[in-house]
Amino acid sequence: MSINHVCKLMLILGCICGISSVTFAEHFPLLVRAENITVPPSTGPITHIVVKNQKASSYNCRIRVKYAQDWTISPVEFEVSLKPQETRKIPISVDKAIDLKSNLYPVEITVISGDKQKVFKQNVFVATTPVFTPKIDGNLNDWEPAVPISFETKGRKTIIRTGWNKKYFNVAVEVEEDKLSGYKKNSDKPIDAVQFAIAPRKTKTPTTTDQKSQRFEFLIVDSPGFMSSDKCFQLMRPGDNIADALKERALEPLQIKDAKVVVKRKKNITVYECSIPLLLIAKLKPMTGRDYLMSFLVHDPDGTGIRDLGEVSGLWEFQRNKLAWSAWKGVKWQEKPPFDSKLEWGFCTTKY
Amino acid sequence: MVGKTQTYFILAILTVVVMAISGCGESVTNPASSPAAIAGGEIVIKVASANGINMNHVGTLPYLAGSRAALDLKKQMGDTPVHAVIIAEYFEDKAAKSKALKGVCSVFDSSIVYGFASYGSFGQDGCSDNDTVRVIGIGGAGISVAAALEENLGAGKLTMEDDLDELQKRLQEAGSSISSKLPKTQDAKLMVLIPDAHSPKNAYVVEGAHKVLGKDFPITGGSANKNPGQTYVYYQGQMFTDSAIAFMLSGDFKVSLAGRKAKENSKVISTAGEAFAEASANLDAKPIAALAFNCAGRKGKLDNLQDELDAIQKEFGKTTPIFGTYCAGEIGPADVAEKPEGVLSSGNGWHLMVTILGR
């Protein structure tokens, strides 16, 4: 048998396996996701695997979880019995691990049901907010203590960093893009911006417009012009009518005066750096080890469109929710609404 | 024109003034020790706390918090000679921490004042968060306290990804070095170790201590706050970073240790009660006081801080003093499935490490 024949045979076998796998996947009743880790893994935190039974009948399976080779976790394997449509979070204790500078941690989750099995592969981030005090000046040299989250959208890079101290919650976002379109008062023109939402742990995004918001939501923008300073707007507070999220409101009345914002261009990168008073989000009860929920949207209307952290964090398609993010005058949504704005995040002390 | 001699004189005066203001420059005695314990002698251990929150919310008053807590402690200690005062404070920066320390030193001689930056504390009077000081006083002829300082641990910026071997080596050496400074007399009962080493790095310091004290010697303690600019330990009234302090408590008293791990609200609460119950059950003596080194991460998982203390008080009562602190790593009996054989105490995270002293 020639090498060509072997290759052809392998290709055919590969296709058969592939089709079989796709067919199984199409009918696979379980959705699986590994949550973000909220403090550095070396400190031995707890994280979760979330599973959802999509069937109208109950579903039993065995799940095997594997993080990096040298990690010790418990449990490694467990049985799950889910009622119809049930979603369940299974705690996974990380007992031994090493923090990686790349902040990309591969997870392999194998679901075994009868004689079938399916392997889900996902990269999780450590989404954590260490204590430090950066100077808000558009220069990120003093953000070294942060744990950056990097992802690509249509080949363009975004890097997100968060930090906190007793007085401020700090955010820095680097956006690779060709040009920066800034905010102008009373203009409807689409602009570049960074939108982020923060919510206390255990809160959920409403799915109907008659409910109240449980999140804090902010928008930071460049504001070009002599004597003009870059701006931070507060789009939502807990207790606000969630229906307001659908209204394209004017931004001017929503500006927060005591936030510090600097937006700077450096070659093909836009740097957004923002500091908001911790008192504004006191409901989170910030303290070391405290979990909360957070996500980011980067608006790049003349480039990649919206870059959604939820999308690269393994959220499920049905977790797109129009009510998870507030509209504003000048926003350019895409065909599908963004993913939920509640990813797992945490306050920590340091990455060292 | 000012001459060279005059310039040197002025510089010397300025240096003395600056050092006096900053509290630096005073030499410390390392190691230091109180007189040997006398069998049957009095043992007095008391705890006090105070907050430095300005009622007008203009700012914090760390000096006042330090001096208030110390005055309360002094009152409780009465005429008993005090061997050591250990403080756990949670203030934001060096300046505030220094003031809190000075507040304590305004009441007690700085030569017996030790401590560390924590993430808050708890005791029979409640849970304390930001801007608070908690002090424990150890005194009486029946107990002896020896203290030691180990500077320049050199592990602050080393990572386990890049520098694991170096990290282990430095911290194990530090653990051995500080342990060897302390007397392990026949009546030595407990080492309290407080390193500037976040878990899991604290494990290496304890491994170093094992080489000197043995794997079965009772060791407890907690890691100092690791927030940048807050990583201080205090030795004889002075501030040190990248350092560790340790105490050896000796006398004819008994110690009982227990450790419990938890990472979720309900389990944090239930394990706290379990740890105190186990330590109490194994003490076989009348409790004098409890040391409780708790994880700041556990604190973060609590919906309500008081819930954990309620569980503790349910098992331990509300009268025997508790010196509880939230730390960046805890030392004591590990609550893990596979315990290394013969090892009593190790460095961990997510634990509440309880030690009850009794006689």
Q: Which one of B228, B298, B349 has the shortest CB-CB distance to A131?
A: B228
pLDDT for A4:
46
* β-sheet bridge partners, residue A158: A151, A175
pLDDT for A70:
85
pLDDT for B8:
57
pLDDT, average across residues A251-256: 95
- The token duo for B120 is 């808050």
Gap between the Cα atoms of B189 and A7, Å rounded: 72
DSSP three-state, residue B102:
helix
A93–B contact, CB cutoff 8 A: yes
Nearest-CA distance B80 → chain A (Å): 38
Q: Which residues of B touch A98 (CB under 8 A)?
A: 160-161, 164
pLDDT range class, residue A221, cuts 50, 70, 90: very high
Q: Which residues of B touch A166 (CB under 8 A)?
A: 92, 130
Q: Which residues of B touch A95 (CB under 8 A)?
A: 336
CA atoms within 13 A on the CB side of B286: 2
CB contact under 8 A, B160 and A98: yes
Least confident of A142-146, A269-273, B59-63, B325-329: B59-63
Q: Which residue of B has its CA nearest to A146?
A: B228
Gap between the Cα atoms of B176 and A41, Å rounded: 27
Q: Which one of A43, A132, A133 has the shortest CB-CB distance to B199?
A: A43
pLDDT for B57:
55
Q: Which residues of A touch B199 (CB under 8 A)?
A: 43-44
Answer positive or negative: Cα dihedral of B215, B157, B177, B324. negative
Gap between the Cα atoms of B227 and A351, Å rounded: 10
Average pLDDT of every residue of chain A: 91
CB contact under 8 A, A45 and B263: yes
Q: Which residue of A has its CA nearest to B164?
A: A98
| Residue type at B273 in one-letter notation | G
A298 has pLDDT over 60: yes
* β-sheet bridge partners, residue A52: A31, A87
pLDDT, average across residues A225-241: 94
Segments in chain B forming alpha helices (H):
4-22, 62-77, 94-105, 160-181, 202-213, 265-281, 296-301, 305-316
pLDDT for B58:
57
C-alpha closest to that of B194 among B127, B105, B291, B80:
B291
pLDDT for B161:
84
- The token duo for B279 is 């330590």
Q: DSSP assignment, residue A225? A: S
pLDDT in tens, A96-106: 999 999 999 99
Interface of B with A in 106-145 (CB under 8 A): 119, 129-130
Nearest-CA distance A255 → chain B (Å): 26
Q: Which residues of A touch B226 (CB under 8 A)?
A: 349-350, 352
Q: Which residues of B touch A46 (CB under 8 A)?
A: 263-264
pLDDT for A22:
36
B193–A contact, CB cutoff 8 A: no
A238–B contact, CB cutoff 8 A: no
CB contact under 8 A, B299 and A96: no
Number of neighbours of residue A279 by Cβ within 10 angstroms: 10
Q: Which residues of A touch B131 (CB under 8 A)?
A: none
CB contact under 8 A, A46 and B130: no
DSSP three-state, residue B335:
coil
CB contact under 8 A, A289 and B296: yes
**Residue whose entry in the numeric block shows the structure tokens 């080779």:** A69
Angle at A297 between CA A292 and CA A300, to 5 degrees: 165
Q: Which one of A43, A46, A131 has the shortest CB-CB distance to B198?
A: A43
- Is B331 within 8 Å of B136 (Cβ atoms)? no
Q: Which one of A95, A131, A346 has the shortest CB-CB distance to B227?
A: A131
pLDDT range class, residue A9, cuts 50, 70, 90: very low
pLDDT in tens, A308-340: 999 999 999 999 999 999 999 999 999 999 999
Least confident of A32-41, A142-151, A219-228: A219-228
pLDDT, average across residues A178-183: 95
Number of neighbours of residue A212 by Cβ within 10 angstroms: 12
B97–A contact, CB cutoff 8 A: no
* β-sheet bridge partners, residue B127: B122
A27 has pLDDT over 80: no
A210 has pLDDT over 50: yes
A291–B contact, CB cutoff 8 A: yes
Q: Which one of A39, A45, A166 has the shortest CB-CB distance to B130?
A: A166
pLDDT for B208:
98
pLDDT for B359:
97
Gap between the Cα atoms of B119 and B116, Å rounded: 10
Gap between the Cα atoms of A38 and A55, Å rounded: 31
A15 has pLDDT over 70: no
Task: Give the C-alpha distances (Å, rounded to integers) separating A207 from A55, A215, A242, A318, B154.
Answer: 21, 14, 9, 11, 52
CB contact under 8 A, B199 and A288: no
Q: Which one of B161, B164, B336 has the shortest CB-CB distance to A101?
A: B161
Interface of B with A in 198-237 (CB under 8 A): 198-200, 225-230
CB contact under 8 A, B296 and A100: no
When scoring B93, B153, B160 by the number of chain A Cβ atoms within 10 A, the one with the most, hence best to mutate, is B160
Gap between the Cα atoms of A21 and B59, Å rounded: 63
Residue A218, phi then psi, degrees to nearest 5? -130, 155
Task: Give the C-alpha distances (Å, rounded to integers) separating B239 from A73, B56, B306.
Answer: 38, 29, 31
CB contact under 8 A, A352 and B225: no
pLDDT for B146:
98
* Biggest CA-to-CA distance, chain B: 77
- If residue A14 lies in a helix (H) or strand (E), which one and from where to where? helix A3-26
pLDDT, average across residues A187-216: 95
Gap between the Cα atoms of A105 and A42, Å rounded: 12
B300–A contact, CB cutoff 8 A: yes
**Residue whose entry in the numeric block shows the structure tokens 């998870």:** A324
* Segments in chain B below pLDDT 70: 1-26, 54-59
